[in-house]
Amino acid sequence: MTQLLNYLYPSAANRVLVSLTYDKYDSGVTLRGVEDGFIYSNGAWEKSMGITLAEYAAMGESRAQFSSKDEALVKIPVFLKNKFAYEAPVAGNIQGVMYKLYVTDTQDVDGDGSVTDKTVYSYVVFYIYDGMNWIKYENTINETIQFGHDGTSWVPDNTIKYTLIRKDDYAYMASQLTGAEYTGLVGNLATYGDFDYNWTKTQIYFALALFLEHLDPNAAEGQKYTLTYVIYDNGENDYQTSFIKTGGVWVVN
């Protein structure tokens, strides 16, 4: 998907939003007309989940749009709670959602030369899971400062904990691991959203370090991450690995 977006929008402005409709093959089923949002941010495309016509209908909408921003912000957290009810989201997970409003066409997106008529605009809003509910993400989070011992004294611990999103984050790694060593391995990443028993620790750590470059390309020297990910080996199991940015690269900590 990233390659397609780069081809279609080779000179995309920072923070531009693209609403993309495509067919998606998922678990043996082809989903027609999937529509998601992609924001170009700091040189990379970030995906935000779209809402289907059926999902709008379930929220009481007769069309694939909300009547107002206020309505959208009330209904979307309920929608997320229902959608991820069986996926056990982890507190701190952040989800971008693209939604649509019928508003005045101030930017003439329909190209008819008028900026006073109305048309459908796409917007993205981010929500963070607090352990029970999805709440609007304001980019400011109150947290208790944690400390770690460096062998001499207690110092603030800047470790960020992140759980890889299935299947998006795994699909990104699959798209980047193009070497011959990974030819027979990457299929399960994109298809199932996990590693499997055929991967060595070294290969997994390399893939995760590659993902961290994508997740936080501007991370400062010394930044730490603890990643939670899934390995399938006689069942799905969660694993955690800690990394630190040292000498400009991510290494296992």
Per residue in 103-139, pLDDT (tens digit) is 888 877 777 888 888 888 899 999 999 999 999 987 6
- Mean pLDDT over 69-75 rounds to 94
pLDDT at 144 > cutoff 70? no
> Between vectors from CA 178 to CA 176 and to CA 179, what angle results, nearest 5°?
135
- Mean pLDDT over 174-186 rounds to 92
- Gap between the Cα atoms of 60 and 23, Å rounded: 25
pLDDT at 251 > cutoff 70? yes
- Gap between the Cα atoms of 24 and 42, Å rounded: 26
Exposed / middle / buried, residue 245 (Cβ in 10 Å: 0-12, 13-18, 19+): buried
Q: Which residue in the block uniquely carries the two structure tokens 């694993």?
A: 239
pLDDT at 141 > cutoff 50? no
Least confident of 66-70, 111-115, 190-194: 111-115
**Residue from 196, 245, 193 nearest 224 by CA:** 245
Phi and psi, residue 122, nearest 5°: -105, 140
